[in-house]
């Protein structure tokens, strides 16, 4: 059958990912992702609580369940699906350049449904992979990443001290020193106009022709009232955006505006 052979060619990863619960004999077999989400952490490593992996991971990394992506793959073993085990990998992105990954083998090569086991644990940080040995390493890593973060989110609609924070570095004109604030990706994304794309940071004093305000999407004055430059992200280079001063201050919390004293309407 054409559809089936196409799916087979794509590979078992896709086939599994698309699989609905299916039947072996009379028994319902959960798809691998469901199996992985529900496996008890206590069954993966001794000394851990009897809680579903998904719930535990969300709490550990302090994200929403939707922020964890689950993917079925061949455990990096290659092969045509009959010669490689099946893994489910949970990936938690905590900032654009940092993520934590828990990969479980959910089906061995013998194709019996096994108790899921830890296959690989790692984090990526600015493109570097850091392999971890045990769940305890993952816990330590997540906590260390938390403690490295300071400050509440600078956006008005959010009051959270964050894990997964992005530096938000504002350079007020004409020659004010850059001020570092913090934001969440989600808060920045909610506030910005998505039709405006970022530049790579170049000369802070030179506004590129055609630059638009990240918040109202209107053109920026090249002369006269200065546009504000701001860089988002700890990755290198960060994403450079521009804004009208009033558009930026409209989005920011009062305490954040105070940090940018030359900027805000509250300046006396």
Site residues for Zn ion per CB under 5 A: 153, 158, 184, 187, 213, 216, 244, 247
Q: Is 208 left (phi over 0), alpha (psi -120 to 50) or beta?
A: beta
Q: Shortest approach of Zn ion to residue 164 CB, angstroms?
A: 10
**By C-beta, is 56 or 241 nearer to Zn ion?**
241
103 or 251: CB nearest Zn ion: 251
Q: Which residues contact 21 (CB under 8 A, 6 or more apart)?
A: 28, 29, 30, 31, 34
CB atoms within 10 A of CB 257: 21
DSSP 228: E
| Shortest distance (Å) from residue 154 CB to Zn ion | 8
Q: Are 106 and 114 in contact (CB under 8 A)?
A: yes
Nearest CB to Zn ion, comparing residues 149 and 216: 216
Phi/psi zone of residue 25: left (φ > 0), alpha (ψ -120 to 50 degrees), beta? left
Closest approach, Cβ 100 to Zn ion, in A, equals 20
Q: Select 75 or 187, whichever has its Cβ closest to Zn ion.
A: 187
Is 70 within 8 Å of 33 (Cβ atoms)?
Answer: yes
Min CB(181)–Zn ion separation in Å: 11
């Amino acid at each position: 059958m054409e559809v089936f052979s196409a799916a087979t060619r794509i590979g078992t990863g896709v086939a599994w990912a698309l699989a609905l619960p299916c039947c072996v004999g009379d028994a319902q077999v959960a798809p691998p992702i469901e199996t992985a989400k529900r496996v008890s952490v206590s069954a993966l490593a001794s000394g851990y609580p009897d809680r579903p992996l998904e719930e535990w991971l969300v709490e550990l990394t302090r994200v929403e369940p939707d922020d964890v992506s689950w993917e079925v793959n061949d455990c990096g073993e290659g092969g045509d699906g009959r010669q490689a085990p099946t893994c489910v990998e949970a990936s938690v992105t905590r900032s654009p350049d940092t993520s934590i990954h828990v990969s479980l083998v959910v089906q061995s090569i013998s194709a019996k449904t096994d108790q899921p086991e830890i296959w690989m644990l790692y984090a990526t940080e600015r493109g570097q992979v850091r392999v971890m040995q045990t769940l305890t390493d993952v816990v330590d890593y997540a906590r260390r990443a938390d403690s490295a973060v300071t400050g509440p989110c600078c956006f008005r609609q959010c009051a959270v001290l964050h894990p997964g924070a992005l530096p938000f570095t504002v350079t007020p004109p004409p020659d004010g020193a850059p001020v570092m604030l913090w934001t969440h990706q989600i808060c920045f994304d909610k506030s910005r106009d998505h039709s405006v794309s970022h530049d790579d940071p170049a000369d802070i004093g030179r506004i590129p022709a055609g630059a638009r305000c990240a918040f109202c999407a209107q053109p920026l004055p090249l002369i006269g009232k200065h546009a504000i430059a701001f860089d988002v992200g700890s990755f290198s280079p960060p994403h450079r955006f521009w804004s009208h001063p009033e558009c930026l201050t409209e989005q920011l919390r009062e305490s954040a505006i105070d940090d940018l004293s030359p900027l805000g309407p509250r300046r006396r």
